[in-house]
């Protein structure tokens, strides 16, 4: 089977810096110290895929030809691995990459008769790929897409839950175990998104292997006006915690549920950022380094941790608690916070059909640590919590 490889080298660069996306800001992000995200995550996927191909799980002895470019849009991330034995180079990565380069690469992959496209990036990359497929006609639009999550924003249903999950899907598809199905490609209004307003629409549709376990599904907006009393109760719970422990540092995650809770406790939170409230001071829209500085400073002189609480709301329709839209919460930040200081927050509609939450920290050891704990506590009402399972990947 012929698998087209597409890597957007600039995807995800702005995540830990608190950017609301990396489109058009790659140079700025790199100048601020941002490190590649999409490429290394494609590397993790292909490394795992190589292991799967040589294991007993490859019961049909499926073989793959990886088709792509040399350089950072492709072979940089797999040429040195043994899976590179199956590679086919069809060109070179430009010195600077733009969305048009992704579109052009997809056209080349179609001409090279690939059976599926495995790509690393975010929603912007997905849109570019779908645009290219649409330009090539109906037959091209049926080429399945398997997304390795590597961007800041990933709302579309083409993405696997983790890089390793993308490898599992690729092998299962190559062995003929998975059928393809249409999924939604979601798009954000970039201009209002930069201003902190979440406005999502369906950009188009794409075919992808159907695997509910490994594919994340499209993000849904599930909050309802009738839930305002529940939101108020959730906020009151946090307010009581602050009154009982004035030294409590509260780290507010991103999302509409938490921002609406903030309104009830007179804290004007950023919809798409990470905020910290401590000592009657609210720090808005923090990046990774700012979070590390504030949290590390929240220590007693003897090194014992003072009270700390990280509030996170799972993404509706996908169930991601960490790893989608909150990349500022890097593995270093999460280790500093600690598992026991994380509290999920969800309204009843978000909990419908949500039997587990997904964790994708970007660090496999930390992901394993969350799975070893097995459960995360979820606040669903005033002084009402439940334990929900951490999904396996």
Tens digits of residue pLDDT in 29-42: 566 666 778 889 99
**Alpha-carbon distance 361 to 332, whole Å?**
10
Instruction: Find out whether 126 and 185 touch, Cβ atoms under 8 Å.
Output: yes
pLDDT level of residue 359 (50, 70, 90 thresholds): very high
Element (H, E) at 45: helix 38-53
Question: Using one digit for the tens of pLDDT, what is the confidence trace for 78-117?
Answer: 855 545 455 899 999 998 888 999 999 999 999 999 999 9
Give the number of domains in the chain: 2
The domain boundary residue, chosen from 142, 174, 209: 209
pLDDT score for 188:
61
**Quick one: 166 and 83 in the same domain?**
yes
**Quick one: 232 and 182 in the same domain?**
no
Question: Using one digit for the tens of pLDDT, what is the confidence trace for 233-288?
Answer: 999 999 999 998 999 999 999 888 898 899 999 999 988 789 999 989 999 999 99
**Alpha-carbon distance 367 to 353, whole Å?**
23
**Alpha-carbon distance 311 to 302, whole Å?**
26
The domain boundary residue, chosen from 154, 183, 209: 209
- Tell me whether strands 180-188 and 200-209 are parallel, antiparallel or unpaired: antiparallel
Does the pLDDT value for residue 2 go beyond 60? yes
**Alpha-carbon distance 363 to 367, whole Å?**
6
Average pLDDT over residues 369-390: 88
pLDDT score for 335:
94
**Quick one: 326 and 288 in the same domain?**
yes
**Quick one: 195 and 239 in the same domain?**
no
Question: What percent of the chain stands above pLDDT 70?
Answer: 80
pLDDT score for 189:
57
**Alpha-carbon distance 204 to 184, whole Å?**
6
The answer to whether the Cα torsion of 10, 16, 19, 21 is positive or negative is positive
Residue 214 counted as domain residue: no
Average pLDDT over residues 326-343: 92
How much is the mean pLDDT over the chain?
83
Whole-structure pTM value: 0.64
pLDDT score for 84:
44
The domain boundary residue, chosen from 150, 175, 209: 209
**Quick one: 90 and 135 in the same domain?**
yes
Lowest mean pLDDT among 218-227, 332-341, 353-362: 218-227
- What is the Cα 375 distance to its own chain's centre? 20
Give residue 318's domain range: 225-390
- How many residues are there in the chain? 393
pLDDT score for 221:
47
Does the pLDDT value for residue 303 go beyond 70? no
């Amino acid at each position: 089977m012929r698998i087209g490889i597409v890597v957007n080298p600039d995807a995800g660069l702005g995540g830990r810096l608190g950017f609301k996306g990396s489109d058009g800001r790659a140079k700025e992000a790199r100048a601020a110290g941002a490190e590649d995200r999409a490429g290394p995550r494609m590397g993790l996927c292909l490394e795992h895929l190589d292991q799967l191909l040589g294991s007993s799980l490859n019961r049909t002895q499926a073989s793959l030809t990886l088709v792509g470019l040399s350089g950072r849009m492709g072979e940089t991330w797999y040429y040195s691995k043994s899976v590179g034995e199956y590679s086919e180079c069809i060109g070179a990565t430009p010195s600077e990459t733009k969305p048009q380069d992704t579109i052009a690469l997809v056209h080349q992959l179609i001409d090279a008769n690939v059976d599926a496209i495995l790509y690393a990036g975010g929603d912007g990359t997905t849109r570019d790929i779908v645009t290219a497929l649409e330009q090539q006609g109906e037959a091209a639009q049926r080429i399945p897409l398997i997304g390795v999550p590597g961007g800041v924003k990933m709302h579309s249903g083409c993405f696997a839950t983790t890089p390793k999950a993308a490898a599992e899907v690729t092998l299962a598809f190559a062995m003929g175990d998975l059928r393809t199905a249409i999924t939604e490609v979601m798009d954000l209004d970039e201009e209002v998104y930069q201003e902190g307003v979440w406005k999502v629409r369906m950009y188009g549709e794409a075919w992808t292997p159907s695997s509910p376990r490994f594919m994340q599904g499209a993000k849904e907006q599930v909050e309802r006006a009738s839930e305002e009393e529940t939101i108020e109760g959730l906020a009151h719970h946090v307010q009581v915690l602050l009154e009982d422990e004035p030294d409590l540092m509260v780290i507010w995650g991103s999302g509409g549920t938490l921002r609406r809770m903030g309104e009830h406790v007179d804290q004007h939170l950023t919809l798409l950022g990470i905020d910290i409230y401590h000592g009657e001071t609210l720090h808005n829209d923090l990046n990774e380094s700012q979070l590390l500085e504030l949290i590390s400073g929240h220590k007693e002189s003897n090194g014992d941790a003072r009270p700390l609480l990280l509030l996170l709301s799972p993404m509706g329709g996908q169930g991601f608690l960490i790893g989608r839209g909150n990349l500022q919460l890097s593995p270093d930040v999460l280790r500093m916070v600690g598992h026991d200081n994380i509290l999920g927050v969800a309204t009843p509609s978000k909990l419908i059909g949500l039997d587990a939450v997904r964790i994708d920290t970007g660090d496999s050891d930390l992901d394993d640590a969350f799975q070893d704990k097995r459960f995360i506590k979820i606040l669903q009402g005033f002084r009402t919590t439940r334990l929900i399972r951490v999904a396996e990947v």
